[in-house]
Amino acid sequence: MSTIIEMPRYGANMDEGTIATWLVTEGESVTKGQAIAEIAIEKLSNELLAPEDGVILKLVGTEGETYDCGTTIAYIGQAGENVEESTSVEIETSNAADTIELSSDATIIVMPRYGANMEEGTVSTWFFSDGDMVEEGDVIAEISIEKLTNELLSPTAGPFYPLVDEGSTVKCGKTIAKIGEGDVAEEGEVVSKCSPSEMDDVITGKKETVSVSADSVETVTSGCSELTPKAKKLADELGVDATMLKGTGYCNMVTREDIKKANAAGALSKAGSTSVPINRKMTAMEKAIAAGMYKSLQETAQTTITMDMDVDNLVAFYKANKTDYAAMGVKLSYTSVIINIVGKALKEYPIMRTIIDGDMFKELTEINIGIAVDIAGGLVVPNIKNADKKFYSAVATELAELANKAKTGKLLENDLIGGSFTITNLGMFGIKYFTPVLNIGESAILGLGAIRKELVAKKGGFLKKKYMSFSLTHDHRVINGAPAARFLNRIQELINEL
């Protein structure tokens, strides 16, 4: 049994490729995964790997020539085998198109492939018998796969001849019937039309002519359309191809919501076809972040503890003061208030700002609290110097300035060095708990979660309270669990005393 090797398809946009070099010769033995050719497509070149162990029987494609994807360019098989024998299994191995035009005007119907995981299907019912005339679109068979049953539609009109019995289980791509009087599968006449990856596109993209999934069958019989009227309008406006979408509305109709999601995903919009993989050089900042994160996790013993803080008092403080501060031109925020609190706590807990330097513990005496800022190019951590000595308004003002400088790329080196502790906030994304990674040169980092309302049982009744989860990552080489926990409890006390 020999196997066809086709011009491969690397990505949906590729229509053809050029054989840059054959890396093997006819008669050469190859092992599965061995590079046998270099295929050039526009600016890229890829290696074509042997699909199995065997001998290269024939190189059909010529170096320097361009072929459509799916075109046979070589045969691989066992030594001494001849290529002609291979054609009878061609369909099976290539999972070729559902229908294959024959020179003699008969159309072959093959076992369709519904989705990438389907390997074989069972013809549970034939709806026509030998010689019956069928019309294009007639349901000719019921195909069962595991738990599903799909209807197979006729691709064309003509006299119909089933070639396998009802109940037969057949591999995808293998002939199961023909339409027309022509002879079937004359060796060498079958022309495979597309590669396996394209096959899936054909099935999903052209289901109205090739096959109808179980869902759509139900849809058709119950009289629902595929899109709601408003979804259709929106799809047209946005240029979204809705034919491949799975509807989530009534009757499995595609809704406006589905179209919006598809548009956001960008995957199916006509303009931007498929998403481009990220293949690019890292920027200097990205390299620094990658190196820093890796170093941090390699060189310290990080562990994270979390605590749900009762922040009723924090919220009350913020609400009571924000207007007054705003009148002074100061933008008070939860983060800024927490920086003040953490500054006080850090002062009382020098262990939280102690690092290992060689074989020495070293206390960082200045309480400079870093704030992780999400910027377009990555992440920066400017710090607020001597946060323990500053008023709420000063911290709030400085925080706003630093964030602004970070976002406009105007941070100075001094803003970034000398940190002794870091605060990072993912609460605005609804994150509750996370495990922040230590900033190099520090022994603790505090992650702030979202403020949330909860009902708590108290004194035989229920009380509505606001909570915020604090995730504290600490270097266990320096800070053990209990001191870290005491530090968090102290923060809770300070919040209560606001």
Partner 1 sequence: MARIISFSKALNEAMTQEMERDENVFILGEDVAKMGGDFGITTGIWERWPNRAFDTALSESAITGLCCGASVCGLRPVAELMFADFITVCYDQLVNNAAKLNYMYQGEASAQMVVRAVTGGGIRCAYHHSQCIEPWLMNIPGLVIVAPATPYEAKGLLVASIRNNNPVVFLEHKHLYNVKGEVPEELYEIPLYEAHVEREGTDITIVAAMSMLKFAQKAADEMAAKGISVEIINPRTIFPLDKETIKESVAKTGRLIVVQEGPKVMGYGAEIGAMLGEELFEYLKAPIKRVTSLDTPVPFAPGMEDYVLPHYEDVITACNEVMAY
Nearer to partner 1, 223 or 461 (CB): 223
Q: Is 148 in the site for partner 1 (CB under 8 A)?
A: no
Kindly state the smallest distance separating residue 221's Cβ from partner 1, in Å: 10
Question: DSSP for 168-232?
Answer: -EEETTSEEEEESSSPS--TTT------HHHHHHHHHHTTTTSEE-HHHHHHHHHT--SB-HHHH
Q: Is 231 in the site for partner 1 (CB under 8 A)?
A: yes
Instruction: Answer whether 59's CB lies under 8 Å from 23's CB.
Output: no
- Residue among 80, 131, 223, 430 that touches partner 1 (CB under 8 A): 223
Q: Which position has the token pair 């979804």?
A: 231
Kindly state the smallest distance separating residue 249's Cβ from partner 1, in Å: 7
Q: Is 256 in the site for partner 1 (CB under 8 A)?
A: yes
Q: Is 250 in the site for partner 1 (CB under 8 A)?
A: yes
Nearer to partner 1, 163 or 238 (CB): 238
Apex 355 CA angle, 353 and 359, nearest 5: 150
Range in contact with partner 1 (rule: CB under 8 A) among 102-110, 216-224, 360-368, 452-460:
216-224
Kindly state the smallest distance separating residue 156's Cβ from partner 1, in Å: 28
Q: Is 235 in the site for partner 1 (CB under 8 A)?
A: no
Classified as helix, coil or strand, 260 is helix
Q: Is 459 in the site for partner 1 (CB under 8 A)?
A: no
Q: What are phi and psi of 114, to 5 degrees?
A: -95, 90
Kindly state the smallest distance separating residue 204's Cβ from partner 1, in Å: 24
Contacts 24+ apart (CB under 8 A), 485-492: 485/305, 485/307, 486/349, 487/345, 487/349, 487/351, 487/352, 487/444, 488/305, 488/307, 488/309, 489/307, 490/345, 490/348, 490/349, 491/309, 491/341, 491/342, 491/345, 492/307, 492/309, 492/310
Range in contact with partner 1 (rule: CB under 8 A) among 15-23, 70-78, 217-225, 323-331:
217-225
Residues 294-353 that bind partner 1 (CB under 8 A): none
Q: Is 461 in the site for partner 1 (CB under 8 A)?
A: no
Q: Is 251 in the site for partner 1 (CB under 8 A)?
A: yes
Q: Which position has the token pair 């093997």?
A: 24
Nearer to partner 1, 228 or 354 (CB): 228
Q: Is 253 in the site for partner 1 (CB under 8 A)?
A: yes
Kindly state the smallest distance separating residue 331's Cβ from partner 1, in Å: 39
Instruction: Answer whether 438's CB lies under 8 Å from 296's CB.
Output: yes
Q: Is 263 in the site for partner 1 (CB under 8 A)?
A: no
Instruction: Answer whether 321's CB lies under 8 Å from 337's CB.
Output: no
Kindly state the smallest distance separating residue 256's Cβ from partner 1, in Å: 5
**Site of interaction with partner 1 (CB under 8 A):** 222-225, 228-231, 249-251, 253, 255-256
